[in-house]
Structure 1
Amino acid sequence: MFLGLDLGTSGLKALLIDADQKTCAEASAPLTVSRPHPNWSEQDPADWIAAARSAIGRIAAHTDLSQLVGIGLSGHMHGATLLGANDEVLRPCILWNDTRAHAQAARLDADPAFREITGNIVFPGFTAPKLAWVAENEPEIFARISRVLLPKDYLRLWLTGEHVTDMSDAAGTSWLDTRERDWSGDLLEATGLSRAQMPALVEGSAPAGRLRVSAAEACGLPAGIIVAGGGSDNAASGVGAGTVADGSAFLSLGTSGVLFAANDGYRPDPQTAIHTFCHALPGRWHQMGVILAATDALEWLARFTASSAHELTAALGPLQAPGSALFLPYLGGERTPHNDAAIRGAFLGLEHATDRAAGTRALLEGVAFAFRDCRDALAETETRIERVIALGGGSRSDYWLAAIATALDLPVDVPASGDHGAALGAARLAMMAAAGAGPEICTAPPIARTVKPETALRQAFDDAHTRYAQAYAILKET
């Protein structure tokens, strides 16, 4: 059996599969985000360990894990987990959606070496500018840093005692030579760090340590189990969804939104604000358009209206033409294509007839238009997408999928029931590392149905997207 652990922003998921990739058990544990100041987003790494122990413990309580031979890890990217000389946590982890380091990011991005070596813009949410912020604002902590880890790799440290990361997660730090798949000494030096403070690098499908006795006893697992390199949440989702061949793609409607395309070569184009990262499998890369608020925006509206996300979307009925109301989902800035940490969301075009349903439709459409901007940015890199697989909690909304299919003018494939995301990808990477399986196990899921664009509404969505783009330009000026 193989266990995949996916460390998400709002919770940790554990998925157990057998050698035939059938789900044997799954469990989850919630996590919360602290926002002590505007633009800040943090978590206590101790909570990740508690969540892992809870989720694994729930599985162990009902399943014989004596045949477990491999563990794979996945997690949210870019987080700055800072450790001292004895691996003590020096401060809360600064998360991917924290934008306090926007000035430091702009300064690093002005150095052409960063885009040239990493293949990416230095976004405020990436790890390097966060370390530059710590150096300037918390120098006493910066001086004590012995190691910088990404979130999932802090879990690995607890499990194995090893300081290791994989290529896909490392690519989101702004320190990796993404073509050569190695740390760049020059970029590390530019932020006052050295290779000695970085974790060792492995491919996601390679062994990266063994389960040590202390963690095994805490979780009720046999010691010595191989722990795979694993992958970033998006790369692991690509492995789970079978999005590993050139041109295959998925769309993730999670807390953030991702339009992900696998590549068999390295094709960076930083000016588009598309992310070009290593995949979790050797010799492969991927590109992503990333929006910072997808289901996060819907949850915001649910809190704002004292409703639940399900209540907001359940009664919307069939897809309608966009109305006068527009929603720009930039609640915490935006990445693709704007690279704008300061922009904020807005409802526009409100009128007397705008009720809760109309506001919900406008929000779902606004996120769909943000995905369309990502599609257009990917097209500038000559990456063409013919269809996408829908992943994430937001994909349970038929209305949202129909709006996205129509806005993108692409068919959206909906997988059959089951987990096809990062937790499965992590478990598959464990199969490769511990049992010698090859990339052929990364098959696409069975498709239950396909949501096709509503051709009769295509022009209406095109026109609404034009108004959406104009609204961004106006909002940007203010």
Structure 2
Amino acid sequence: MSYVIGIDLGTSAVKSVLVDREGRVTGEHSESYPLMRPKPGYSEQNPEDWVKGTLVSLNRLVEKTGVRPAEIDGISFSGQMHGLVLVDAEGKPLRPAILWNDTRTTAQCRRIESTLGAKLIDIARNKALEGFTLPKLLWVQENEPELLDQAKLFLLPKDYVRYRLTGEYGAEYSDAAGTLLLDAASKSWSAEIAEAFNLPLSLCPPLTESFGQTGGLLPEIAEAAGLEPGTKVFAGGADNACGALGAGILGEGKTMCSIGTSGVVLSYESDKTLNLGGRAHFFNHAEKDGYYIMGVTLAAGYSLTWFKETFAAEMGFDELLAGIDRIPAGSGGLLFTPYIVGERTPHADSDIRGSFLGMDSGHTLKHFARSVLEGITFSLRESVDIVRSSGKAVTEIVSIGGGAKNADWLQMQADIFNATIIRLESEQGPALGAAMLAAYGAGWFDSLGDCAAAFIRTAGRYEPNPEQAERYEKIYALYREVYGQTQELNRRLAEFRN
């Protein structure tokens, strides 16, 4: 028997999964690590914690499954995007990694916009947001210049771990696309952007495809992991790109809705010249010469968690949502906007906040619970609309994450998106996508599409109800007015939040 291992390097933990040739996950193990918040808005981690967690996770995975090291044909990665790791000439981190959810770089984002103007969208295809890597580099340039002078390279989180496992530096296109330093169309680091900020292009690591082999396990690493020296290691992909692989989003028209803490709508794109003007993210895919459009709702599943913990802490989610199918679409005239931590797509606004509109004395807890689900789904619909505005006919959407665990919510997605919703039999998300890159890189399949056909199975389909879909169209039109009507009020309320 032969296997591959997918490693998903997340913000709170690293997960390793063992996958056989039929795409069955035969074992998994997670190891957590700490998050550091030294100041308000700061979010950092020690890169060596990722390495230690990965080695422990691999070792425990091998122990738990009893797999023989010789049966492992390859390893690949999925990783949290945008994080900045600066290493010196010996490959040692010069400071803690600055993570994707660190918000210290607002001033640097404004500097990028004023310096590059429209060129930023033309080259990198994305707006300057605090989460991206280039603003972090500029923050170090302005606040810790001596460290930037000592830096040999910047690396993204999974690429640092892979370097430590193999001794070889590298980056791949799907993660590099989230730095604001990659020319998305030419698939090369942008000398124009780097030079505009006096950053040497030599800071950028060599680029390869996500399925490209990037060395083998070093002997001491293999011993710690319980694997064979030289085990093939493949570049891997950004977490969203790998999540898309794990959902089979490979080919025109393929679209995914992922509802976790945040929510993501992601659609495959083959046109490298597509320019959405920054209305949604545009990133390189883990498939060769593929791209994807992505919209983000910051507080998707988090809105539901917040609501339950605040108003129904004694209930489980199943109890809270039981019976919402008996509440009519529109929740009896109650409308929720999920802007409780700001919003990303289509409104990149850190000041906007959520609201319940239309409350009356006849509304019950179930009305509020349904309205929260509807509001989350309306927000995601705005991203679906951006995808459709690019010329795509989105008729089927694969739903994964927490939003795929409740049948009523799945039907709601079908009605609000006015598309068939597909639920998968087994959902491992980015970790499975990483394993697929290892399987393809190791030669198991002729294409990632063939790999997806073998690994991914459909468990159910939810068709839109025409009457419900028509009703939701009218309510959605009202939802879209709320942002403009409350934007100024929320800006003025912001001074009273602390």
TM-score by length of 1: 0.92
- Match of 2:72, SS state, is coil
Query: Could you tell me how far 1:267 is from its partner in structure 2?
Result: 4.0
Query: Could you tell me how far 1:412 is from its partner in structure 2?
Result: 0.7
- Rounded Cα–Cα distance in structure 1 between residues aligned with 2:281 and 2:9: 21
Deviates more, 1:5-14 or 1:317-326: 317-326
Structural mapping, 1:168-187, within 5 Å:
168-187=174-193
Query: Could you tell me how far 1:71 is from its partner in structure 2?
Result: 0.3
- Rounded Cα–Cα distance in structure 1 between residues aligned with 2:316 and 2:124: 38
Alignment counterpart, residue 257 of structure 2, candidates 238, 251, 262: 251
Conserved? CA contact 1:302–1:312, under 8 Å: no
Query: Counterpart amino acid of 1:299?
Result: T
Structural mapping, 1:76-475, within 5 Å:
76-110=80-114, 111=116, 112-305=118-311, 306=313, 310-311=317-318, 313-318=320-325, 320-323=328-331, 324-416=333-425, 418-435=426-443, 437-439=445-447, 440-443=450-453, 445-475=456-486
1:189 and 1:331, CA in 2 relative to 1: closer, same or farther beyond 3 A?
A: farther
Query: Could you tell me how far 1:207 is from its partner in structure 2?
Result: 0.5
CA shift digits 1:172-220 (9 cap, x unpaired): 1110011111111121223332222122111011101211122212211
- Match of 1:28, SS state, is strand
1:32 and 1:185, CA in 2 relative to 1: closer, same or farther beyond 3 A?
A: same
Q: Tell me the matched-pair count.
A: 477
- Rounded Cα–Cα distance in structure 1 between residues aligned with 2:35 and 2:474: 37
Q: Mark the runs of 5 or more structure 2 residues left unpaired by the alignment.
A: 490-498
CA shift digits 1:15-43 (9 cap, x unpaired): 11123323221222345544555544433
Conserved? CA contact 1:167–1:279, under 8 Å: yes
Conserved? CA contact 1:97–1:292, under 8 Å: no
- Match of 2:86, SS state, is strand
Correspondence for 1:4: 6
Conserved? CA contact 2:125–2:277, under 8 Å: no
Query: Could you tell me how far 1:355 is from its partner in structure 2?
Result: 4.6
Deviates more, 1:402-411 or 1:131-140: 131-140
- The root-mean-square deviation of aligned C-alpha atoms, in Å, is 2.4
Deviates more, 1:129-138 or 1:271-280: 129-138
CA shift digits 1:266-321 (9 cap, x unpaired): 14323252222111121222211222222233333344343576356442442631
Alignment counterpart, residue 14 of structure 1, candidates 8, 13, 16: 16
- Rounded Cα–Cα distance in structure 1 between residues aligned with 2:415 and 2:34: 34
- Rounded Cα–Cα distance in structure 2 between residues aligned with 1:102 and 1:456: 45
- Rounded Cα–Cα distance in structure 2 between residues aligned with 1:348 and 1:136: 44
1:283 and 1:371, CA in 2 relative to 1: closer, same or farther beyond 3 A?
A: same
Query: Could you tell me how far 1:109 is from its partner in structure 2?
Result: 3.0
Correspondence for 1:69: 73
- Rounded Cα–Cα distance in structure 2 between residues aligned with 1:158 and 1:356: 51
Query: Could you tell me how far 1:354 is from its partner in structure 2?
Result: 4.7
- Rounded Cα–Cα distance in structure 2 between residues aligned with 1:84 and 1:353: 64
Structure whose CA Rg is larger: 2
